[in-house]
Structure 1
Amino acid sequence: MVQGNVILVGVDNSHRSLFVVEQAAQLAVHLQKTLYLVHVVDTELATNQQIQLNEERLAYHFKRQFDQISKDAGVQHVISTTIFGNPAKRLTNLSTLDNVSLAILGANGRHCINTFPITGHIASWSKKSTTLIRNPITNHVSRVPVNSFILND
């Protein structure tokens, strides 16, 4: 990958992330960059294996939507991944990679809680430009049909 050719986008299992991906996709097309969509499952909140498995399945459901949004916007290259750990630390570490030119994060998390302490730390710790996106959706609750993310083993 070319140095500075990637926009890192922190996502979670929320409809707010759909808006963040839309904005990031438009920017990626304009700047001719690759989108790197990263969902970090917080291992402090997902304390047992079943919760982590459910988060992974839900992430798969949203990944399909993120990929479609990116494709519809005309993004040439999209990389999506789900990782585990502390979101602030993992996103900060990823934002320092040479091929990342910009980090984009939502200002609010999945549970409609202002996540500025986390995103503020990422913005201040990262050596790259970081953009926080405020979603105009204020009272939206994520609803996902159960059968849409249950995978057959």
Structure 2
Amino acid sequence: MSTYKNILVAVDGSQEAEWALQKAVTIAKNDNATLVLAHVIDTRNYPTIEAYDTTIRDRSETFANDLIKKYKEQAEAAGVTNVVGDIVLGSPKGQISKDLPKKHNIDLIVCGATGLNVVERFLIGSVSESVVRHARCDVMIVRTEEA
């Protein structure tokens, strides 16, 4: 079995992301790996949304900072010694599968299986599906809370 050095876990505040975090923390602790907590602020629709709500960008950044802080504290309390938070703007698919792994020299990506509906999945695909397809390192898709 591989020993991982740099683990990326994608977090968005969903239940699936919480499960992914729990599993990533366990692996990072067992392998003495660096855990990178990543949140991608999806800015593709900002121009349209900001026409109606000019505070959306600030609220997104506040949410992201609070989320990463909370998860970092949880990971450190569980015994992970090296935890890094990274908040980026852009497309979650590209950031999680390509840009962030390159930036942090990632050898394992852990993300939750999100619940897009059938139509969305057919038209645009899920983030986790894109990560599996395009990542150049190992990927773990978490569907359950079980260890």
Same topology, TM > 0.5: yes
Task: Give the direction of change, closer, same or farther, for the CA distance of 1:56–1:104 in structure 2 (3 Å limit).
Answer: same
Out of 65, 69, 72, the position equivalent to 1:64 is 69
Out of 109, 113, 116, the position equivalent to 1:107 is 113
Indicate conservation of the 8 Å contact 1:105/1:132, yes or no: yes
Indicate conservation of the 8 Å contact 1:22/1:69, yes or no: no
- Distance in 2 (CA, whole Å) between partners of 1:60 and 1:123 is 26
| Structure 1: tracts of 5 or more residues without a match | 137-153
How many equivalent residue pairs? 130
Instruction: Return the offset for 1:44.
Output: 2.1
Indicate conservation of the 8 Å contact 2:16/2:142, yes or no: no
TM-score of the two chains, using structure 1 as the length reference: 0.75
- After superposition, the C-alpha distances for 1:12-54 in whole angstroms (9 at most, x for unaligned) are 1334423321211111001110001110011124443521211
TM-score of the two chains, using structure 2 as the length reference: 0.77
Q: Secondary structure at the match of 1:38?
A: strand
> Where does 1:75-114 land on structure 2 (aligned, <5 Å)?
75-93=80-98, 94-96=100-102, 99-108=105-114, 112-113=115-116
Calculate the aligned-residue CA RMSD, in Å. Answer: 2.1
The structure with the largest helix share of the pair is: 2
- Distance in 1 (CA, whole Å) between partners of 2:58 and 2:13 is 13
Q: Secondary structure at the match of 1:74?
A: coil
Q: Secondary structure at the match of 1:100?
A: coil
Give the residue type in structure 1 aligned to 2:78: A
Match of 2:135 in 1: 126
